[in-house]
Amino acid sequence: MLQAARTDWPAYLQVSGDVDLAWIDACDKYHDPGHIEEVIERSDPTDFSNDYLVLCCEFEAVLGHVMRSLQPRLVWLAEWPYWESALLDPQTGNLMPVFHWAMKKMSDYGWDDGFAEKVEACLELLDNKPDTGNSGTK
């Protein structure tokens, strides 16, 4: 999905180079409520490759890639279906459900959350949280 975003996003977003926080910010600013509504309306819920699901998956992949680039200790916890996968910080035991963040972005609930800032704030919290010695999720 990350490769799909690398291919798809430059066609409609002003992004280039390495996938980084600027890519998240560009996607965040582009997908306002009107555009999100358009994506939802043209997406057939019976089609597993509909625009809504693809966009959520690409955004999730970009979020995860950028977070892992900025904090290499994060690891993917692969689940099935794949959208239940999340990032785990083995040092703190915290789980970051980036696909769910992407779905919130593409809904009425979280379209204006500011995901580049959310990524930075989340990573800052992880770095400032004391190690609990618990490798489980919280």
Is 29 inside a domain boundary? yes
Q: What is the pLDDT of residue 111?
A: 76
pLDDT in tens, 54-72: 999 999 999 999 999 999 9
**pLDDT, average across residues 14-41:** 94
Is 134 inside a domain boundary? no
pLDDT band at 85 (very low <50, low <70, confident <90, very high): confident
> Which helix (H) or strand (E) segment is 96 a member of?
strand 95-96
The structure's pTM equals 0.87
pLDDT band at 129 (very low <50, low <70, confident <90, very high): low
Q: What is the pLDDT of residue 107?
A: 84
Is 72 inside a domain boundary? yes
Is residue 4 predicted with pLDDT exceeding 50?
A: yes
Q: What is the pLDDT of residue 136?
A: 46
Alpha-helical segments (H) within the chain: 2-8, 21-30, 33-41, 51-70, 98-105, 115-128
| Domain extent for 85 | 2-128
pLDDT band at 87 (very low <50, low <70, confident <90, very high): very high
CA distances from 125 to 38, 52, 58, 96, 120 (A): 35, 30, 25, 12, 9
pLDDT in tens, 115-125: 999 999 999 99
Is 90 inside a domain boundary? yes
The total of structural domains in the chain comes to 1
Average pLDDT taken over every residue of the chain: 89
Is 138 inside a domain boundary? no
